[in-house]
Amino acid sequence: MNHPLAGHTNSYHSYTFEEALSGIAEAGYKGVELSAVPGWTEHVDLDAPTAEVRARLDHYGLTPVSLSGHSDLTTKDGLAHGIKAVRWASDFGLTIVNTAIGGHWSEEENEDAFLGNIDELADEAKAAGVVVALEIHGDIMASGAVTLPLIERIGREEIRVNYDTANCEFYAGVAAVDDIPAIAPYLVHIHLKDKIGGPREWNFPAPGEGHIDFGRVLQVLREVGFDGPCGVEVEFTGEPWPPLPDVTGAMKGACEHLTALGY
């Protein structure tokens, strides 16, 4: 991989941005994926100057690799947030903005409404020199195989895929190692997330504590030629989040497990 293994600040959902950065650095990460998700994890204020964010990252010795700016792209408000995220990322020097069709929850998505908005977002991304990475998440993008015809239909170089190794199981019941090759040409970002249980069961422990074989995932990523950023995300069993020391402990365990495998 050509990027530092990144701790996703969404793993610190319900905690402050400062607590997230401190914990990610303490856990051993050199990279960070930033969160600006309305109504969920609002660590980065897209209306604020970027200098303070840069100062905090420098303080903790963290290199930003991407911005998670999920919003409901089937709506005009969601599109506006996506455009704002793209512009902020460009100003900050980031080239990847992760998002999802229906925002954080992504249920019962309106594909036609999404397709009516995506070209405007792609135009903004092109002008900003940014790639929008749609996450494997929700019904319309439940897996790589399901996503492929949608990405081909969009047909824009600025629209690519952020593959989530647990969401493919949660939404479609398929294993990442079997599904990644289907969407490989369009991958620009990976979420390394573990899973316990079956489809629609929210149990996302630290990588190394669930049943996903991340050694095999890495092998598949190498086989398909992926060399983009990897964000480590832990979402536990949902709200309420565990105590802060437990979150950092989980992130540290994940970092140790993944680096030992070669990430």
CATH of the domain at 114: 3.20.20.150
In a domain, 198, yes or no: yes
In the numeric block, the tokens 């092998």 are attached to 219
In a domain, 1, yes or no: no
What would the pLDDT profile of 143-152 be if each residue is shown by its tens digit? 999 999 999 9
What would the pLDDT profile of 156-196 be if each residue is shown by its tens digit? 999 999 999 999 999 999 999 999 999 999 999 999 999 99
Q: 149: burial class by Cβ within 10 Å (0-12, 13-18, 19+)?
A: exposed
Which of helix, strand or coil describes residue 136? coil
pLDDT at 80: 98
The pTM (predicted TM-score) of the whole model is 0.97
Which of helix, strand or coil describes residue 30? coil
pLDDT at 103: 63
Q: Where are the alpha helices (DSSP H) in the chain?
A: 17-26, 51-60, 76-92, 111-128, 144-154, 167-172, 176-183, 214-223, 244-261
Neighbouring residues of 128: CB distance < 8 A, sequence distance ≥ 6 = 86, 87, 89, 90
Mean pLDDT, the chain, integer = 96
- Answer yes or no: is pLDDT of 210 > 90: yes
pLDDT at 109: 75
Q: How far is CA 45 from CA 17, 63, 95, 99, 110, in A?
A: 10, 18, 18, 16, 28
- Answer yes or no: is pLDDT of 230 > 60: yes
Neighbouring residues of 167: CB distance < 8 A, sequence distance ≥ 6 = 135, 136, 137, 142, 191, 193
* Domain coverage including residue 102: 6-261
Residues 236 and 207: their CA atoms lie apart, in Å, by 11
Residues 248 and 8: their CA atoms lie apart, in Å, by 12
Output the six-digit token pair for 35.
């969160």
In the numeric block, the tokens 């530092």 are attached to 4
In a domain, 152, yes or no: yes
What would the pLDDT profile of 75-134 be if each residue is shown by its tens digit? 999 999 999 999 999 999 999 999 999 866 555 678 999 999 999 999 999 999 999 999
In a domain, 42, yes or no: yes
- Answer yes or no: is pLDDT of 213 > 60: yes
- Answer yes or no: is pLDDT of 234 > 80: yes
Q: Where on the phi/psi map is residue 180: left (φ > 0), alpha (ψ -120 to 50), or beta?
A: alpha
Neighbouring residues of 152: CB distance < 8 A, sequence distance ≥ 6 = none
What would the pLDDT profile of 27-85 be if each residue is shown by its tens digit? 999 999 999 999 999 999 999 989 999 999 999 999 999 999 999 999 999 999 999 99
Residues 228 and 219: their CA atoms lie apart, in Å, by 14
In a domain, 128, yes or no: yes
pLDDT at 122: 98
Q: How many domains does the chain contain in total?
A: 1
In a domain, 91, yes or no: yes
